[in-house]
Amino acid sequence: MHAALLALVLKYTVIMAGHPAGAQTVVVDGAKRTVDFDYNDRGRGPKTHCVMTHRSIETTGNDYFKAAVSETFAGGKWSNGAESGQSKNAAAFYVSMYGPPEELAALARALLAAPGRKLPLLPAGAASIKKLGQLTVNGQRLTAYDITGLGFSPIAIWLDAKNELFASASSWLSVIAEGHDAAIPKLIKAQDQWHATASRAAAARMIHKPAGGGLVITNARVFDPVSRALQPPATIVIRGNRVESVGAHDAPELEHLDARGRVVLPGLWDMHAHVGDDDGALNIANGITSVRDLGNDIDTVLDLKKKWDSGDAVGPRVVLAGIIDGKGPLAGPTKMLVDSEDEARAAIDKYASRGFEQIKIYSSIKPELVPFMTRHAHEKGLRVSGHVPAFMRAEEVVRAGFDELQHANFLFLNFFADVKDTRTPARFTAVAERAATLDLSSPEVRAFIDLLRERKIVVDPTVSIFEQMFTARRGTMAAGYVAAADRLPPQVRRGYLTGGLPVPEGKDQTYRDSFANMLRLVRALHDAGVTIVAGTDALAGFALHRELELYVQAGIPAPEVLRIATLGAATVMHREDRLGSIAPGKLADLVIVDGDPTVSISDVRRVVTVVKDGNVFDAAAGSKDER
């Protein structure tokens, strides 16, 4: 009883897209901390029980996809189901695979006490910490720190006067001391202000404005997405942010760049992004100069777009699509939740007034609202796409006015009528277990594909995420990231060893066969004349390369895949007059690659130089830059 009275209990709320989604409870008893952590993300999300000391950790429960978790670290040895190892470095800090947010605070405290505020990490890497600033919130004096070494950029954490976790705050997912939810916007604003100077400095290092106000690229083999062929070596003249000519013309007064016979592609498009701070440079370094954001916090995405457009930070052009969902415990990651026509109208009008070009209807929208929402969005000049709402089928939303469908799994669910509530992970597991059995040549499937073609429906299949869900296995690098693994920060790389969906006993080959049939469906759609766009819904930059590889694996010729990712995307978003190909008068967005992706699509990974809006980025230098 006496020990229990001495224990300190710290409680936190998990906030996802502005709504409570879970909790963390920390019981501090001397050197031991017992942490219970969970959150619900549309039926997904971890639930873990963790016992931590300064030199050990033991975590049990389930991961984000509900697979069982058992992770231990003690005596320099670790095991987590995806990896195991041992180190004699007593000073190193073990970063667990499935640890709770409290572990970040533990790392912060260890770094603050370490010489030079730096520590080696296990299994690999190193971390450092620096103070960002201080803020008073509800009478508490808080200090913000940046921890570097865990990802592509520093991670901010807020500690109280006793160096206990107060918050880890972002527009997507925040963990904050119970009762202080309203402070999250204030914390995010302060973080952004402190990061702004470093961001502008990084942009200044990475963005090269050509001397003389323009650029001449010589010995360039230009890919033409109209003919789907490489042109003979030519000279590209860029003046300001526009292509002036493609041919033999030169402009001696402008800066020159020798492409050395390399292939020059129009800037690539990722048509399914949810952008954050890290994504700007990652996209540019991988040749992606335009993205369509399909759901984000309104203020966050508008701020990022402004910074990327102005050059205050490095990033692609952004086309805005606003997500809207219905209310309830399985609502999607958005503050725009509606249950009536009046609420839906207000949400659509708000997006239209802020410069959005599209709405994305999500899984919890009431089916009876869909025809009204599509009609009103079209009246406002907005495209309509989305998930297929629960208790509807893809065919029904097409007839109700959708212009586009996201995610190939919803196409399969059109034929599994018994899977009605698709707000939960059933929309993944049912497809993983049954897609292999769907006969794509059946009259029902052919009729559905014909409907998509007749209605000019665009399909955004995002097959790379399903490759990871259906075929990734714990302890093995996910297939989509094998080629990029050595370029990822060590702690990011580890995340792709955790596997995908938990696979029931005896279903391993079934899951793999279902993914193979998904690729066959993408090929069938393309062959039938249905418009495909290349989107990822995954790691910025690298995931698009994999998406394109998978289209080729499905049987679509590489030159056609390049057209899909350039002029095809620009045409869908009504920008073919200024983007999507390298031609006089168009905006100067292009990518120089070392290889021939018309023959080997994987050569899109070999980015040498990127030009966006007439500015030049050295891909290698940009990928190494750190705040």
Confidence check: pLDDT of 2 > 60: no
Sign of the dihedral through C-alpha 585, 591, 595, 596: negative
pLDDT at res. 102 = 98
Give the whole-angstrom CA distance, residue 616 versus residue 256.
12
- Name the more confident of 333 and 361: 361
Confidence check: pLDDT of 625 > 50: no
Mean pLDDT across the chain, nearest whole number? 95
Half-sphere exposure of 460 (CA within 13 A, CB side): 25
- Residue 150: pLDDT band (50, 70, 90) is very high
- Residue 1: pLDDT band (50, 70, 90) is very low
- pLDDT, tens digit, 9 for 90 and up, residues 417-460: 999 999 999 999 999 999 999 999 999 999 999 999 999 999 99
- Name the more confident of 7 and 508: 508
Identify the residue whose tokens are 């200024």.
578
pLDDT at res. 621 = 58
Which residues in 504-538 are b (16+ Cβ under 10 Å) and which e? eeebeebbbbbbebbbebbbbbbeeebbbbbbbbb
pLDDT at res. 7 = 82
Q: DSSP secondary-structure letter at 208?
A: B
Confidence check: pLDDT of 54 > 90: no
Confidence check: pLDDT of 389 > 50: yes
Half-sphere exposure of 211 (CA within 13 A, CB side): 5
Give the whole-angstrom CA distance, residue 393 versus residue 28.
50
Q: Which domains does the chain have, with CATH numbers?
A: 2-204 (2.50.20), 210-266+580-627 (2.30.40.10), 268-579 (3.20.20.140)
Give the whole-angstrom CA distance, residue 603 versus residue 621.
19
Confidence check: pLDDT of 209 > 70: yes
Confidence check: pLDDT of 626 > 60: no
Cβ burial of 582 (10 Å; 0-12, 13-18, 19+) is buried
Distance between first and last Cα of the chain: 49
For the residues 63-77, what does the mean pLDDT come to? 95
Sign of the dihedral through C-alpha 275, 241, 601, 203: negative
- pLDDT, tens digit, 9 for 90 and up, residues 603-623: 999 999 999 999 999 876 544
Query: Which helix (H) or strand (E) segment is 269 a member of?
Result: strand 268-273
pLDDT at res. 3 = 47
Q: Check whether the bond before 559 is cis (ω within 30° of 0).
A: no
Question: Could you tell me which residues come within 8 angstroms of residue 406 by beta carbon, excluding any fewer than 6 positions away?
Answer: 272, 294, 360, 385, 386, 387, 460, 462, 535
- 537 token code pair: 């819904």
Whether the Cβ atoms of residue 471 and residue 496 lie closer than 8 Å to each other: no
pLDDT at res. 323 = 97
In the chain, DSSP finds a helix count (H) and a strand count (E) of 18, 32
- pLDDT, tens digit, 9 for 90 and up, residues 246-267: 999 999 999 999 999 999 999 9
Whether the Cβ atoms of residue 40 and residue 329 lie closer than 8 Å to each other: yes
Strand partners, 57: 52, 73
For the residues 220-243, what does the mean pLDDT come to? 98
pLDDT at res. 87 = 96
Whether the Cβ atoms of residue 281 and residue 314 lie closer than 8 Å to each other: yes
Among 314, 362, 333, CA closest to 274: 333
